[in-house]
Amino acid sequence: MSHKILSHIFTQIKRPSWRFALVSTLCMLLVLGTMTTIYNAVVYQRIHSEAQRAIQEALRIDDDQDDFSTERVAVLLHLTHDFKLPQEPEALYTAADKAIAHWYAQNPASAQLTYIDTSKLNFYAQYIPDAHSSDVVVAYVDITGEQELISSINSLFMLIILVGTSAAGAAAFYTGRQIEQRELAVKSFYENMSHELKTPLASIAGYGEGLQLGLMDNPTRIGGLIVQQTQKISQEITQILNISRLESGAIQLKKERVYLDELIQDCLLPQEGSIKAHQLSLHLELAHIEVLGDKHQLEHALSNLMRNAIDHSSSQIVIQLTNHKLRISNDCMPLSQDELAHMFDRFYSSKTPGGTGIGLALARQIIEMHGWHLTAANNKNGIVCSITFEA
């Protein structure tokens, strides 16, 4: 029945984060609960066995066992036939003696080993008739101290269970949230990628159909447009392949001496048409800096960063190169802290329409493979991407 209830609850939970939290909490609870149960069973069995042997030794119930070896010592107590203390001075009897006599008087039992739990004291006890009178002899072992210790340890176990299950649930929930965000990012990536590929493919299909039906007056111009759209598709596919190869280690950096200021100028040449089309002003502050890096891969990374800055700029691009930092700034709407934190994630695309985000992820991968650091932040005019490097 409980299995069906848990299965029903699990199937009703759709979010991976809550599923991970539930499963991890239950597993941790099961493990710690089982450990606590086993500990209690082992300890109580040991106390029972030692108390039984001590009582048997005191009463000499089993005379054939001469090898008693226990640290416990049973206390012998003589009671009347109706389980009352003999008429002796009150001071001669301990609280445990009085509790034993009172319990047996209230609960006449068979002459077997018995666990006695009073309001404050705990015992194992057994009695036999006195061979020389009508009275009885009781042997008991006081286990109150052990009982209190076990209760304290169980309280500690409960605290550990509470903290452990809470920590396991929280960790699993965090992991589940990461998986959810990853799934959402992948879904968004595929949606954006589908859109980015569908647009040029639709253009190519339209141009091809027009050529097939003889509706195009300038086939040469149409051919150029088809090539342009094909190159756009090829560029997107190349970006995906490059980041996969870099992550898998299939592409190794071929480092050489590179002048960053010259490389930046080279990367800007193919972007001049786009800068003019967006009617942007370009401001350069470039120091003559030499670094050790893979020129080809750095060109990919810087081109992607510049292209992103151009696509989202309103009026100007500023590129500044100093001894240990390269800044690429543009004027645009500021991003939220969450967008800035995930800007260079592989499958992340911001709420700003256009692009799949794969180019920025590739840029970060290349920059970090060089041992450099890439960050993004809002400034008073827009967004600045900063690369910190060793000159």
Per-residue pLDDT reduced to its tens digit, 145-185: 888 888 898 888 888 888 888 887 788 777 777 777 777 76
Domain membership of residue 171 (yes or no) is no
In b/e form, how buried is each residue of 50-65, taking b as 16+ CB within 10 angstroms? bbbbbbbbbbeeeeee
What is the arithmetic mean of pLDDT over 30-52?
A: 89
Q: Which of 93, 127, 149 is the last residue of a domain?
A: 149
In this structure, what token pair is assigned to residue 249? 């280690």
Which CATH number is 350's domain given? 3.30.565.10
Radius of gyration of the chain (CA): 41
Residue with tokens 């027009």: 210
Q: Which of 149, 167, 193 is the last residue of a domain?
A: 149
Longest pairwise C-alpha distance within the chain: 132
Domain membership of residue 182 (yes or no) is no
Categorize the per-residue pLDDT at 25 as very low, low, confident or very high, splitting at 50, 70 and 90: confident
pTM exceeds 0.75, yes or no? no
Who contacts 222 (Cβ-Cβ below 8 Å, separation ≥6)?
207, 210, 211, 216
Q: Which of 149, 175, 202 is the last residue of a domain?
A: 149
Question: Are both 11 and 141 inside the same structural domain?
Answer: yes
Which residue range forms the structural domain that includes residue 371? 256-388
Domain membership of residue 112 (yes or no) is yes
Domain membership of residue 78 (yes or no) is yes
What is the arithmetic mean of pLDDT over 361-365?
A: 86
CA distance 354 to 312: 9
Nearest Cα to Cα of residue 54 among 42, 67, 71, 77: 71
Is 129's pLDDT higher than 50? yes
- Determine the pLDDT at residue 192: 61
CA distance 334 to 375: 15
Categorize the per-residue pLDDT at 350 as very low, low, confident or very high, splitting at 50, 70 and 90: low
Domain membership of residue 174 (yes or no) is no
- Determine the pLDDT at residue 175: 78
Question: Are both 145 and 262 inside the same structural domain?
Answer: no
Contact 289, 323 (CB under 8 A): yes
Domain membership of residue 14 (yes or no) is yes
Lowest mean pLDDT among 141-155, 203-217, 257-271, 307-321: 203-217
Categorize the per-residue pLDDT at 317 as very low, low, confident or very high, splitting at 50, 70 and 90: very high
Q: Give me the long-range contacts of 303-307 (CB less than 8 A, separation at least 24).
A: 303/267, 303/270, 303/271, 304/239, 304/359, 304/360, 304/362, 304/363, 305/360, 305/363, 305/385, 306/267, 306/268, 306/271, 307/271, 307/274, 307/359
Domain membership of residue 277 (yes or no) is yes
In this structure, what token pair is assigned to residue 74? 């049973």
Domain membership of residue 143 (yes or no) is yes
CA distance 382 to 315: 11
- Determine the pLDDT at residue 215: 72
CA distance 374 to 57: 79
Could you list the beta-strand ranges (E) of the chain. 75-79, 114-117, 122-129, 136-142, 256-259, 281-286, 290-293, 316-321, 325-331, 373-378, 382-388
Who contacts 343 (Cβ-Cβ below 8 Å, separation ≥6)?
335, 350, 357, 360, 376
As a whole-number percent, the residues of the chain with pLDDT over 90 amount to 20
Quote the number of domains for the chain. Answer: 2
Categorize the per-residue pLDDT at 65 as very low, low, confident or very high, splitting at 50, 70 and 90: very low
Lowest mean pLDDT among 2-6, 93-97, 341-345: 2-6
